[in-house]
Amino acid sequence: MSENNIDRRKFLAAAAAGAGFVAIAPGIRLVEIAAAKPDNEPVTSKVRWGMLIDTTRCQSGCTECVSACGKENGLSEVKKPRTDAQWIRKIDLKELKTGRALSLPMMCQHCANPPCVDVCPTGASFKRADGIVLVDRHICIGCRYCMMACPYKARSFVHEPHTDQNPEVPRGQGCVEGCTLCVHRVDRGGTPACVEACAAAGHNAMLFGDLNDPGSAIAKRVREVKTTQVRADLKLDLGVRYEGI
Amino acid sequence: MAIASYVETQSRPAAFWGLLAAGGLFLLAAFAAFLHFEHSGHVVTGMDNQIVWGMPHVFAVFLIVAASGVLNVASIGSVFGKPVYKARAPLSGLLALAMMAGGLAVLAADLGRPDRLIVAMTHFNFKSIFALNMMFYSGFFAIVAAYLVTMMDRSLNGYSKVIGFLAFFWRLALTTATGSIFGFLVARTAYGSALLAPMFIIYSFAYGLAAFLIVQGAMYAWNGLVLDARILARMKNLLAVFVGAALYFTAVMHLTSLYFAKQDAYERFLLLDGGVYTAAFWLGQVAVGGLLPLALIFLPGATQARVIAAAVLVVLGGLAQMFVTIVGGQAFPLEIFPGYAVTSSFQDGIVNGYSPVAGEFALGFGGIALAFLITVVAVRVLRFLPQDDFAALKAED
């Protein structure tokens, strides 16, 4: 009889401890990924996600970022360069006057004043409060006006049916799409797949972070070195900056 | 009896059904192309991620621009009170509706998700000139339809002047907005000019009047009538004024563009080394659409056949102009890094090729066929054929 009582006490104590852990654990986890946005909170303009690309570290011929993007977002390998979606591409540049050569990845620049959002008739092209420019695949009618408007050719049109989608990155024939800055990863506190792949390859040419946070690595770097916004004459206030152009 | 009256069109049922069948065949071909594109995706067209707007847009924008322009005939009648044009106002309104319907149908059929047309009609981004255009198009239908009713129902004739004014200003706003679709594309060298809006208006005057003259000529021929020489003279001179003005705007556009050093490369491409686009500009837009019609109109002894030939050339030149503006503007490489030579897997730095497939032309001609069918049926069941007694009208002038 008393043994039973002791067992019961042990059981209750263990249960309480377990319940307590379960209750507190998410908080502990939250502290750990403080930068991540809890699912039940809207994105905030306190954050401005951005990327800094160091062209002096970017290797010509290296396409790690491109492959990683394709794998992460369920894009097929580019077999038809005219019609296949290319959310990120490598551009090799050669200065006409001096012959100076450099290589860099080009993707959606996540403008603060995005022309694609201005021109979209239905509002499918939109900018989140944290600066990420996306396409709402539910209301994109496939008019392709955003592709006409984008100064960076960052958008692709889905030209044919496709299978093997990544459930986190739904895509559909007849809609326009582009780099999402791996928003599904960023919202969980991660970094875009291209940035991760560039670091894994040992180049570390891509730096991702919150431009609004003075303590972030990207904000510090942008303060310290001269960075360039591509086609700065258009005054679009880009989220993606380049170093060494 | 000085007021313009109307004659019934001649019956000729076999020929009528023949016209319907011919138009129907084109429409059917367009529908087949639409289903094919919709099912397989745009990969089966000549369009790609660089040339995103192709032949269907060339036809669609032409039809929309011409639709707004063809209404001018009515405006000159109602708004500016010219009796010769007043007699033609109902036909002008009808053609405006028919061509607008044809153009919009092509535009919708070329969407990536045509099934979401209802989304386009229920979700508006008011900052988008494209969304504004959609509102202008819908309003155009309503206003021009009301205008037609006030012109054709004698009990409502009193309202036709007011609605005519509204239609006139609406169509000017509409074409301004259509030109601005390109004018607002700041990143591309070929576009991003405020001049595109007034230029599209003057283009619409020329294309619209040309389309009107062709249809009017066909209707007169059908009924064995001959257009009064003085009316012909007036209308051909007006066409010449519009064609001349279109050439003037084109020249100013390119001269100002040449003045901006950064646009040298594009102007060189378009005017000299652009291959098919250079040919379409000089031979199509300037020669066929401008100089030849002017010669046909102004060389002594202009007959109705010659004026209609001039109008046909203006339409062909108009299609060439749309091809140059829409496709040529995209073919020229988008300059992302000025001062650098660039290469990539995404056709950066190269002139983009474009080989339209037959289905794209089928869609475009389908739009014309739709406008044609609407017109053929409407002129048969309602009184649209103008009948002029020029001497009487002259006396009233």
> Which value does ipTM take for this structure?
0.92
Flag if B334 and A151 touch (Cβ within 8 Å): yes
Residues of A in Cβ contact (< 8 Å) with B330: 148
CA distance B239 to B314: 9
CA distance B238 to B273: 34
CA distance B213 to B314: 11
Residues of A in Cβ contact (< 8 Å) with B53: 144, 148
Question: Which residues of chain B from 170 to 209 reach within 8 Å of chain A, CB to CB?
Answer: 181, 184-188
Same domain, yes or no, for A54 and A14?
no
How many angstroms separate the CA of residue A18 from the nearest CA in chain B? Answer: 50
The model's confidence at residue B33, banded by pLDDT at 50, 70 and 90, is very high
pLDDT at B395 over 60: no
Please check whether residue B42 is in contact with residue B114, taking contact to mean a CB–CB distance below 8 angstroms.
no
The backbone region for A191, taken as left when phi is positive above 0, alpha when psi lies in -120 to 50, beta otherwise, is: beta
Report the SS3 class of residue A38. Answer: coil
By percentage, how much of chain B surpasses pLDDT 90?
81
Which segment of A97-106, A156-165, B129-138, B240-249 scores lowest on mean pLDDT?
A: A156-165
pLDDT (0 to 100) of residue A48: 97
| Residue B316 structure tokens | 């062909």
| Residue B132 structure tokens | 């504004």
Dmax (CA) of chain B: 73
Question: Which residues of chain B from 295 to 334 reach within 8 Å of chain A, CB to CB?
Answer: 330, 334
How many angstroms separate the CA of residue A187 from the nearest CA in chain B? Answer: 26
Question: Within 10 Å of residue B389's Cβ, how many Cβ atoms?
Answer: 15
Structural domain contains residue A165:
yes
The backbone region for B248, taken as left when phi is positive above 0, alpha when psi lies in -120 to 50, beta otherwise, is: alpha
Q: Give the CATH number, domain containing residue A129.
A: 3.30.70.20
Please check whether residue A131 is in contact with residue A110, taking contact to mean a CB–CB distance below 8 angstroms.
yes
pLDDT at B388 over 80: no
* Domain tally, chain A: 2
Nearest residue in A to B329, CA atom: A148
Residue of A94, A96, A108, A122 to mutate, testing the B interface (most B Cβ within 10 Å of its Cβ): A122
| Residue B199 structure tokens | 């230029």
pLDDT (0 to 100) of residue A3: 56
Of A81, A121, A234, the CB nearest to B134: A121
Full set of structural domains in chain B with CATH:
5-334+373-396 (1.20.1630.10)
Structural domain contains residue A40:
no
How many angstroms separate the CA of residue A152 from the nearest CA in chain B? Answer: 6
Of B42, B130, B339, the CB nearest to A159: B42
Residues of A in Cβ contact (< 8 Å) with B347: 81-82
- The pTM score is 0.91
Structural domain contains residue A41:
no
Residues of B in Cβ contact (< 8 Å) with A157: 42, 49, 52, 112
H-helix or E-strand spanning residue A146: helix A145-149
Residue of A93, A158, A229 to mutate, testing the B interface (most B Cβ within 10 Å of its Cβ): A93
Q: Beta strands A49-54 and A240-243: pairing type?
A: parallel
CA distance A3 to A13: 15
Q: For residues B108-143, b (16+ Cβ closer than 10 Å) or e, as one string?
A: bbbbbbbebeebbeebbbeebbbbbbbebbeebeeb
Domain range for residue A94?
A: 49-243
Of A82, A92, A144, the CB nearest to B112: A144
Structural domain contains residue A166:
yes
Give the pLDDT confidence of A220-231 residue by residue, as tens digits.
Answer: 999 999 999 999
Of B53, B341, B347, the CB nearest to A148: B53
Q: Within an 8 Å CB–CB cutoff, is residue A79 touching chain B?
A: no
How many angstroms separate the CA of residue A49 from the nearest CA in chain B? Answer: 22
pLDDT (0 to 100) of residue A4: 59
Q: Which portions of chain A are predicted below pLDDT 50?
A: 1, 28-34
Same domain, yes or no, for A13 and A95?
no
Same domain, yes or no, for A161 and A223?
yes
Nearest residue in B to A178, CA atom: B49
pLDDT (0 to 100) of residue B12: 87
Residue of B113, B189, B350, B352 to mutate, testing the A interface (most A Cβ within 10 Å of its Cβ): B113
Flag if B343 and A231 touch (Cβ within 8 Å): no
By percentage, how much of chain A surpasses pLDDT 70?
88
CA distance B254 to B251: 5
DSSP 8-state secondary structure symbol assigned to residue A36: S
Of A93, A121, A159, the CB nearest to B130: A121
How many angstroms separate the CA of residue B133 from the nearest CA in chain A? Answer: 9
Please check whether residue A50 is in contact with residue A192, taking contact to mean a CB–CB distance below 8 angstroms.
no
In order of B91, B286, B293, B306, the CA distances from B311 in angstroms are: 17, 14, 7, 9
Same domain, yes or no, for A85 and A120?
yes
Structural domain contains residue A53:
yes
H-helix or E-strand spanning residue A73: helix A64-73
CA A22 to chain centre: 31
Same domain, yes or no, for A154 and A67?
yes
Kindly give, in sequence order, each residue whose CB lies less than 8 Å from that of residue B173, ignoring residues fewer than 6 positions away. Answer: B136
pLDDT at B224 over 70: yes
Beta bridge partners of B222: none
pLDDT greater at residue B309 or residue B158: B309
Same domain, yes or no, for A17 and A127?
no
Amino acid at B315: V
Residues of A in Cβ contact (< 8 Å) with B111: 141-143, 174
Residues of A in Cβ contact (< 8 Å) with B341: 93-94, 96
Phi, psi dihedral angles at A111 (to 5 degrees): -65, 150
Residue of B39, B104, B116 to mutate, testing the A interface (most A Cβ within 10 Å of its Cβ): B116
Flag if B339 and A83 touch (Cβ within 8 Å): no
Same domain, yes or no, for A4 and A115?
no
Report the SS3 class of residue A190. Answer: coil
Give the pLDDT confidence of A71-128 residue by residue, as tens digits.
Answer: 999 998 889 999 999 999 999 999 999 999 999 999 999 999 999 999 999 999 999 9
Report the SS3 class of residue A28. Answer: helix
Flag if B48 and A115 touch (Cβ within 8 Å): no
Same domain, yes or no, for A61 and A92?
yes
- Return the closest-CA partner of residue B198 out of B237, B232, B172: B172
Of A121, A153, A158, the CB nearest to B120: A121
- Return the closest-CA partner of residue B305 out of B387, B371, B372, B227: B227
Of B40, B52, B346, the CB nearest to A157: B52
What is the rounded average pLDDT for all residues in chain A?
90
Same domain, yes or no, for A95 and A8?
no
C-alpha dihedral over A227, A229, A235, A237, to 10 degrees?
-80
H-helix or E-strand spanning residue A39: none
CA distance B184 to B1: 51
By percentage, how much of chain B surpasses pLDDT 70?
95
Tell me, letter by letter, the H, E, C secondary structure of chain B: CCCCEECCCCCCHHHHHHHHHHHHHHHHHHHHHHHHHHHHCHHHCCCCCCCCCCHHHHHHHHHHHHHHHHCHHHHHHHCCCCHHHHCCHHHHHHHHHHHHHHHHHHHHHCCCCHHHHHHHHHCCCCCCHHHHHHHHHHHHHHHHHHHHHHHHCHHHHHHHHHHHHHHHHHHHHHHHHHHHHHHCCCCCCCCCCCCHHHHHHHHHHHHHHHHHHHHHHHHHHHCCCCCCHHHHHHHHHHHHHHHHHHHHHHHHHHHHHHHCHHHHHHHHHHHHHCCHHHHHHHHHHHHHHHHHHHHHHHCCCCCHHHHHHHHHHHHHHHHHHHHHHHHHHHHCCCCCCCCEEEEECCCCCCCCCCCCCHHHHHHHHHHHHHHHHHHHHHHHHCCCCEECCHHHHHHHC
Same domain, yes or no, for A107 and A188?
yes
Question: Which residues of chain A from 171 to 230 reach within 8 Å of chain B, CB to CB?
Answer: 172-176, 230
Which segment of A11-15, A86-90, B164-168, B345-349 scores lowest on mean pLDDT?
A: A11-15
The model's confidence at residue B315, banded by pLDDT at 50, 70 and 90, is very high
Flag if A141 and B119 touch (Cβ within 8 Å): yes
Question: Which residues of chain A from 8 to 67 reach within 8 Å of chain B, CB to CB?
Answer: none
CA distance B147 to B124: 27
Same domain, yes or no, for A116 and A221?
yes
Nearest residue in A to B123, CA atom: A122
pLDDT (0 to 100) of residue A20: 64
Please check whether residue A203 is in contact with residue A220, taking contact to mean a CB–CB distance below 8 angstroms.
no
Which segment of A194-203, A235-244, B225-234, B321-330 scores lowest on mean pLDDT?
A: B225-234
Nearest residue in A to B135, CA atom: A121
| Residue B30 structure tokens | 């367009």
pLDDT (0 to 100) of residue A6: 61
Structural domain contains residue A23:
yes
Same domain, yes or no, for A111 and A157?
yes
Structural domain contains residue A37:
no
Structural domain contains residue A210:
yes
CA distance B120 to A122: 6
Which value, in Å, is the radius of gyration of the alpha carbons in chain A? Answer: 22
